[in-house]
């Protein structure tokens, strides 16, 4: 085996190990506006760049144009870009990496110790978000917490969260948060 073939086979083994080691959440994470991606096409140095998922959920990439990346996984976006590049490049190998998850944010407001905006890089439920905000302050009404969620059609819903009910075992209220959710603690 020549030196090039040995290096190439070593690279393939390394990539296989790397891909198998990725956490399962990478498959389930959906891209959000504000996320920064690194996109590259193998053997095409001019097609390697960082792209931003814009507020409307799209990205722009050379030869491809705009792609509606919002709510896609990284793998789905990679396949979408590759399919659009096929008319210019035979069998393109496209790699999309999530460089920064800046679009995956929740907000905790009101009577907590550290209110604010929190970037989340994993599934987070209401209790975990309250913990990230330093917990409830002594003046908080833990039984009147609201979880506000805006939907794609622009409507908004509010779900009640009772801290004492969760302490007693009613865990169905401790729902997973979605990007953009707001927890309001009166």
User: DSSP letter at 151?
Assistant: -
Pairing verdict, β 94-100 and 58-61: unpaired
Q: How far is CA 89 from CA 46, 64, 83, in A?
A: 13, 11, 10
Q: Where in the chain is the domain with CATH 3.10.560.10?
A: 105-185
Q: Is-above-0.75 flag for pTM?
A: no
Q: How far apart are CA 41 and CA 20, in angstroms?
A: 21
pLDDT higher for 171 or 14?
171
Taking residue 148's Cβ as centre, other Cβ atoms within 10 Å add up to 15
Tokens describing residue 48: 């390697």
Q: What is the mean pLDDT of the chain?
A: 87
153 contacts: CB under 8 Å, gap ≥ 6: none
Q: How far apart are CA 126 and CA 147, in angstroms?
A: 8
Res 27: pLDDT:
52
Res 71: pLDDT:
81
**44-68 pLDDT, tens digit each:** 999 999 999 999 999 999 999 999 9
User: DSSP letter at 168?
Assistant: T
**102-147 pLDDT, tens digit each:** 888 999 999 999 999 998 878 899 999 999 999 999 999 999 999 9
Q: Which CATH superfamily is domain 105-185 in?
A: Outer membrane lipoprotein wza domain like (3.10.560.10)
Q: How far apart are CA 9 and CA 27, in angstroms?
A: 26
CATH fit for domain 24-100, picks 3.40.640.10, 1.10.150.670, 3.30.1950.10, 3.40.1050.10: 3.30.1950.10
Q: Where in the chain is the domain with CATH 3.30.1950.10?
A: 24-100
């Amino acid at each position: 085996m020549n030196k090039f073939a040995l290096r190439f086979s070593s690279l393939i083994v390394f990539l296989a190990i790397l891909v198998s080691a990725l956490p399962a959440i990478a498959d389930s994470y959906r891209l959000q506006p504000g996320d920064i991606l690194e996109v590259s096409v193998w053997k095409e140095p001019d097609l390697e760049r960082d792209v931003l998922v814009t507020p409307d959920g799209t990205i722009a990439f050379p030869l491809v144009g705009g792609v509606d990346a919002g709510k896609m996984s990284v793998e789905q976006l990679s396949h979408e870009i590759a399919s659009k590049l096929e008319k210019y490049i035979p069998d393109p190998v496209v790699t999309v990496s999530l460089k920064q998850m800046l679009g995956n944010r929740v907000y905790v407001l009101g009577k907590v110790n550290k209110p604010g905006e929190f970037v989340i890089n994993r599934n987070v439920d209401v209790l975990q978000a309250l913990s990230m905000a330093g917990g409830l302050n002594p003046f908080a009404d833990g039984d009147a917490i609201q979880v506000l969620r805006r939907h794609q059609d622009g409507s908004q819903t509010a779900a009640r969260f009772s801290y004492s009910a969760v302490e007693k075992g009613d865990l169905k209220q401790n729902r997973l948060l979605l990007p953009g959710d707001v927890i309001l603690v009166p």
